[in-house]
Chains A and B, each alone.
Chain A
Amino acid sequence: MGSDIRLIVEAPLLADLPAPHEATEIQRRYIEDFARRLSRFRPDSELCALNGDQHETVSASGLLRAAVSAGVWAAWRSEGLVDPTLLGEIEAAGYAESHDGREPASLREALAAGPALRVARAHPDERWKAIEVDERRGTVRRPPGVGIDTGGTGKGLAADAVAHRLRSYTRYVVDCGGDIAVGGVGAQLEPFEIEVEHPLTGESVHAFRVCGGGIATSGLNVRIWRREDGSFAHHLLDPCSGEPVWSGLIGATALAPSALEAETLTKIALLSGPMGARRALAEHGGLIVHNDGDVELVGPRDERCVTASLTGRAA
Chain B
Amino acid sequence: MATAATAAVMTTDQVTGSRGRRRERHPLLGAFPLSVLTLATFLVVLAVLAARLQSGSDPALSAFAGKPEKAARQVLVRRVYERVVVVHLPASAPAQSGSSSQQVSSEGAGAASAAPVTRTS
Within 8 A of A (CB), among B36-75: none
A100 touches B116 (CB 8 A): no
Query: Within the complex, which residue of A8, A100, A199, A216 is in contact with B91, where a contact is CB–CB below 8 Å?
Result: A100
Query: Within the complex, which residue of A8, A31, A97, A253 is in contact with B81, where a contact is CB–CB below 8 Å?
Result: A8
Task: Count contacts on B: residues with CB < 8 A to the other chain.
Answer: 27
With an 8 A cutoff between CB atoms, is B7 at the interface? no
Find chain B residues with CB under 8 A from A173 CB. 116
With an 8 A cutoff between CB atoms, is A195 at the interface? yes
CA distance A20 to B62 in the complex (A): 39
Query: Within the complex, which residue of B103, B112, B115, B121 is in contact with A28, where a contact is CB–CB below 8 Å?
Result: B103
Interface string of B106-117 (1 = CB under 8 A from A): 010000100111
Within 8 A of A (CB), among B90-121: 90-92, 95, 97, 100-101, 103, 105, 107, 112, 115-121
CA distance A207 to B114 in the complex (A): 12
CA distance A6 to B105 in the complex (A): 10
B82 touches A41 (CB 8 A): no
Find chain A residues with CB under 8 A from B118 CB. 175, 178-180, 194-197, 215-217, 253
Find chain B residues with CB under 8 A from A31 CB. 87, 89
B91 touches A180 (CB 8 A): no
With an 8 A cutoff between CB atoms, is B10 at the interface? no
15 contacts between A and B (CB under 8 A): A3-B89, A4-B86, A6-B86, A7-B83, A8-B112, A21-B83, A23-B83, A24-B85, A31-B89, A36-B95, A44-B95, A175-B116, A194-B116, A215-B118, A223-B120
Which residues of B approach A to under 8 Å, CB–CB? 81-92, 95, 97, 100-101, 103, 105, 107, 112, 115-121
